[in-house]
Amino acid sequence: MRVNFDEIIDRRNTWSSKWDVKEGELPLSTADMDFKTAPEIIEALKKRVEHGIFGYTDVADEWKESVIAFYKRRHHLKIEKDDLMFCTGVIPAISSTVRKLTTPAEKIVLLTPVYNIFFNSILNNGRIPLESLLIDNDGYYTIDFADLEAKLKDPQATMMILCNPHNPVGRIWKKEELAKIGKLCKENGVIVLSDEIHCDLVDPGLEYTPFASVDETCKDISITCIAPSKTFNLAGLQSSAIIVYNKALKARVNRAINTDEVAEPNAFAMCATITAYEKCDYWLDELREYIYQNKLHVSEFINREIDGLKVLENDATYLLWIDHAKLKVSSIELARFLKAKTGLILSDGSIYHGDGLDHLRMNCAYPRKVIDDALERLKRGIAIFREGR
Ligand SMILES: Cc1ncc(COP(=O)(O)O)c(C=O)c1O
């Protein structure tokens, strides 16, 4: 390995939203990584800083070229320059698109449990989330297509937000599943916003299927959001891309992000993204291997050593979804208990809706020693919890 992912870096006192916690607490919650980004990106940023002038920045043609080449090389997705727009983040893109393409009181379909901030983008804009619950087949989640179809048939349903691969259950959706979603959405006049922010972080040897690549229907009715933020740990630099193949739809999305003023990059977004997409494939491949080994280690440890917890199957993201139904306690209470007794902070599954009340989410993008510290705390915390019962 060229990259030392074992290096422990103190993130306190950097205004990190995850690490703004008490002394002794260990947050394995918010989805960013405790790894330094690739050295090539740091060098590019240093050069930009040394220039010393941080004026307004345009979306560079090299940015489009780097996104197009990266997605072709890694995901076999063909994008033309004209299909591509810059946005300051996936959530800004989602919120803006929700506002432009749907009207208040319309319904937006979600497969739950799902990334909690989707609910903010819907509810804060006066739209209504319509949940189709995923089915847990002994640890492997699948879509309840009969239920999804019923939800999509609701005359008030006009958009579906898909998470591909899915946070928090870690599924890479199969081509057949995506084709079915596309067909049902087309039949019911529902636009699909496919959030593919986790697509680069699939387990080694696996590939994901971009929703827009499935067939002409999926290509025609979709808006795809991608970003280097999860992949290269650049969330704070506010850089993402939107792909829309349908020209009429693209014009509306373009209008949406420009109306909301989220279509222009800051001074660092261009150089970091271009460098990431052009020069850092080796770093990403090593990262995927490290995360995969961490996830294996965590799953084996929890399933072997901690009675009452079960890590569910996962083939993408650095997030593990842990079932604690056997403990007969809500995730709200259990997360609070673990934090109070051991300092370990995991995400309370209830924020993701669906069956989240029986689950905790654990971020595994940490050096192995930190993961081991977290596992010891988790084991101790669950033991204390069981003793108190
Ligand atoms: C599925 C998903 N979408 C979007 C985001 C956030 O994207 P951004 O920071 O680009 O707004 C996250 C972060 O955890 C996520 O998991």
Instruction: Fill in the DSSP letter of residue 358.
Output: G
- Establish whether residue 227 lines the binding site of ligand 1, counting it when its CB lies within 6 angstroms of any ligand atom: yes
- Establish whether residue 317 lines the binding site of ligand 1, counting it when its CB lies within 6 angstroms of any ligand atom: no
- Establish whether residue 31 lines the binding site of ligand 1, counting it when its CB lies within 6 angstroms of any ligand atom: yes
Inter-axis angle of helices 247-259 and 90-101, nearest 10 = 110
- Establish whether residue 90 lines the binding site of ligand 1, counting it when its CB lies within 6 angstroms of any ligand atom: yes
Percent helix, strand, coil in the chain, to 5, is: 45, 15, 40
Two structure tokens written together for 372: 């081991």
- Establish whether residue 312 lines the binding site of ligand 1, counting it when its CB lies within 6 angstroms of any ligand atom: no
52-279 is classed CATH 3.40.640.10: yes
Q: Which residues pair with 111 in a beta bridge?
A: 132
Q: Classify burial at 113, counting beta carbons within 10 Å of its beta carbon; exposed 0-12, middle 13-18, buried 19 or more.
A: buried
Residue 333 three-state SS? helix
The pLDDT of residue 93: 98
- Establish whether residue 111 lines the binding site of ligand 1, counting it when its CB lies within 6 angstroms of any ligand atom: no
Distance 60 CA to ligand 1 centre (A): 23
Q: Which atom of ligand 1 is closest in space to residue 32's alpha carbon?
A: 14
Q: Give the sign of the dihedral formed by CA 41, CA 45, CA 46, CA 48.
A: positive
The pLDDT of residue 126: 98
Q: Which residue has the tokens 């960013």?
A: 32
User: Helix count (H) and strand count (E) of the chain?
Assistant: 13, 15
CA–CA dist 232, 2 (Å, integer): 16
Two structure tokens written together for 262: 């989220």
Q: Which residue has the tokens 């290269």?
A: 232
Three-class DSSP labels, 19-53 = CCCCCCCEECCCCCCCCCCCHHHHHHHHHHHHHCC
Task: Provide the residue-wise pLDDT of the chain in tens; the chain has 389 residues.
Answer: 799 999 999 999 999 999 999 999 999 999 999 999 999 999 999 999 999 999 999 999 999 999 999 999 999 999 999 999 999 999 999 999 999 999 999 999 999 999 999 999 999 999 999 999 999 999 999 999 999 999 999 999 999 999 999 999 999 999 999 999 999 999 999 999 999 999 999 999 999 999 999 999 999 999 999 999 999 999 999 999 999 999 999 999 999 999 999 999 999 999 999 999 999 999 999 999 999 999 999 999 999 999 999 999 999 999 999 999 999 999 999 999 999 999 999 999 999 999 999 999 999 999 999 999 999 999 999 999 999 98
The pLDDT of residue 66: 98
- Establish whether residue 196 lines the binding site of ligand 1, counting it when its CB lies within 6 angstroms of any ligand atom: no
Q: Which residues pair with 109 in a beta bridge?
A: 130, 160
26-39+281-387 is classed CATH 3.90.1150.10: yes
CA–CA dist 102, 24 (Å, integer): 45
- Establish whether residue 88 lines the binding site of ligand 1, counting it when its CB lies within 6 angstroms of any ligand atom: no
The pLDDT of residue 1: 77
User: Which one-letter amino acid corresponds to residue 207?
Assistant: E
pTM of this prediction? Answer: 0.97
Picking from 134, 213, 118, 211, the residue whose alpha carbon sits closest to that of residue 170 is 134
Distance 184 CA to ligand 1 centre (A): 26
Distance 118 CA to ligand 1 centre (A): 9
- Establish whether residue 243 lines the binding site of ligand 1, counting it when its CB lies within 6 angstroms of any ligand atom: no
CA–CA dist 178, 196 (Å, integer): 13
Domain ranges in the chain are 26-39+281-387, 52-279
- Establish whether residue 44 lines the binding site of ligand 1, counting it when its CB lies within 6 angstroms of any ligand atom: no
Distance 91 CA to ligand 1 centre (A): 6
Q: Are 188 and 218 in contact, with CB atoms under 8 Å apart?
A: no
CA–CA dist 226, 284 (Å, integer): 16
Distance 76 CA to ligand 1 centre (A): 23
Q: Which atom of ligand 1 is closest in space to residue 319's alpha carbon?
A: 16
Q: Which residue has the tokens 């593990």?
A: 320
Q: Are 84 and 71 in contact, with CB atoms under 8 Å apart?
A: no
Q: Are 355 and 136 in contact, with CB atoms under 8 Å apart?
A: yes
Phi-psi bin for 254: left (phi > 0), alpha (psi -120 to 50), beta?
A: alpha
Q: Which atom of ligand 1 is closest in space to residue 240's alpha carbon?
A: 10
Q: What is the dihedral of CA 199, 200, 202, 203, to 10 degrees?
A: 180
Distance 196 CA to ligand 1 centre (A): 9
The pLDDT of residue 346: 98
Q: Whose CA is nearest to atom 13 of ligand 1?
A: 31
What angle is formed at CA 211 by the lines to CA 210 and CA 214, rounded to 5 degrees? 95
- Establish whether residue 235 lines the binding site of ligand 1, counting it when its CB lies within 6 angstroms of any ligand atom: yes
Distance 387 CA to ligand 1 centre (A): 38
Q: Which residue has the tokens 């901030």?
A: 117
Q: How many CB atoms lie within 10 A of CB 125?
A: 17
Residues in the chain: 389
Instruction: Fill in the DSSP letter of residue 194.
Output: E
- Establish whether residue 114 lines the binding site of ligand 1, counting it when its CB lies within 6 angstroms of any ligand atom: no
- Establish whether residue 94 lines the binding site of ligand 1, counting it when its CB lies within 6 angstroms of any ligand atom: no
